[in-house]
Amino acid sequence: MSDTDLQPITEQSLQAHLEALGARVMTRSGRNEHYGAPREFSFEVKAIFANGLGLHILARQHNYRDPWEAVGKINELVDVSLLKDGAYAELPQGFDFFQMRDTEEAVDWGTFCSLANCVATVNPKIYRLQQLTGDL
């Protein structure tokens, strides 16, 4: 996938997608509205699903589509962390994401949608089952 094929990711598009999956969502804008925020901070989104799992999405910096910044700032890649019981966690074995790590970095829009759908549908009893079998 080339840079021109990447779809911009906005605070509002993430919020709408997560709410459509049934999550409670909270967002926070970066430097545009909060001048004291670090320069590389764009926005942050936190979501919690009915199964108790959550996502923490952080757009760390803006990518510029042209060298003179005439078009403006575009976020195409974000970092996504998985939250379970208020702490960073991994998904149980057998899932496509969060295996042996609690953060997926440089996630594009298509990957984010797949990742969010996966987390929203996880049955939390799988954690207990894999703890009992020693797989987690």
Provide the percentage of residues in the chain whose pLDDT is more than 90. Answer: 42
Judged against a pLDDT cut of 50, whether residue 116 lies above it is answered with yes
In the chain, DSSP assigns E strands to: 24-29, 43-48, 53-59, 63-64, 73-74, 78-84, 87-88, 103-107
pLDDT digits (tens, 9 = 90+) for 73-106: 557 788 999 999 989 999 888 889 999 898 999 8
How many structural domains is the chain composed of? Answer: 1
Name the residue range of residue 110's domain: 3-133
**Contact partners, residue 16, CB within 8 Å, separation at least 6:** none
pLDDT digits (tens, 9 = 90+) for 33-75: 555 545 556 788 999 999 999 999 998 765 555 554 445 555 7
